[in-house]
Structure 1
Amino acid sequence: MELSTRRLLLREFRASDHAAVHTFASDTEVTHYTDWGPNSPSDTTTFLTEVTQDATSTPRHRFALAVVNREHNALIGSIELRVVSTSHQRAEIGYVLHRHSWGKGYASEAAITLLHFGFDELGLHKISATCDPNNAASTRVLTKIGMRLEGHLREHLHLRGRWRDRLVYAALSDNHPAQDTPR
């Protein structure tokens, strides 16, 4: 599976992506707000093994894709759409980028493309995302792509020895922002 934007290619991960993935997945600054990482080399290997196996499952519920900068043909991050309920047509989206790719609009571009895919191709009704309330960059991305704040989950995750809150954002199929946003 491949999805294209003006500047990005979203494609399946390959075993040969290990070095590029590990560069951002092992970075403490990149993983500061995530509920995983920083990755060891074996964590990165496990991730790549899982997502390449998930890519061949039927029916497929996990779409974890490499984010590739087309101009430089460089893997700069990961984006994922995970169907959490087929009966309720719900999924969750998440993304992470190498810190050298922050602030350039890549996360928004990739996320809006995956919203299109989820609503238009998979027929989903609702796509949600969570983020740390202190992660201003991620809240900007979610707002920019038209997702709406639905709630604040207090002490939702126990990460790195402390309780962390999460904000919940979502978009619905009948009025999703991706409808009016060019791919």
Structure 2
Amino acid sequence: MKKGFTMIELLVVVSIMGILSAMGVASLHGAVVNNRVKDAAINVSAYLERVANETNRLSEKVCVRAVGKQIQATKGACPAKGALVSKYEFEGNENLSFDNSTGGGDCSKSWVGNSGVTFEPKFGLSAAPVEGCIVVKYGSGEKRARALKKKNKNNIIPQISYDSGANWMGL
């Protein structure tokens, strides 16, 4: 009598492994998308904080505007185009783009658009405008990232939304 596995047993095992790996790939893709959205929220917020600090250091107004897939900070009040101070770009991810919406009721003004927003130097405070936000979307799906400046806060808050901006979670 020979010992071993029948062909049917091998096919069943291989098909079960295929089903489990397909489920793993789908959840891995979702985790990658979620991490890209979180990174966008954190990186845009950090960049805007850096621009606010640079505005105070320069003691000059700085215009921040989204141009294509990058945020540019230039010297002078908006919409004037002065010398470039710095820029931030989404590198290696063509699915991230800026959204002109405010993404919800707690953001009064979108900082995305041709006119941009002016950061003004303030001693001991953030140079960022009193309130507003920049919203980033991932592809055509429901996942969004946002850098939010509230009226009663001195910092810019990174947030994410998994339902097209209906509900936001801080990071």
Q: Normalization by structure 2: what TM-score?
A: 0.26
Considering fraction of residues, name the structure with more strand: 1
Question: Of the two structures, which has the highest relative contact order with CA contacts closer than 8 Å and spacing of 6 or more?
Answer: 2
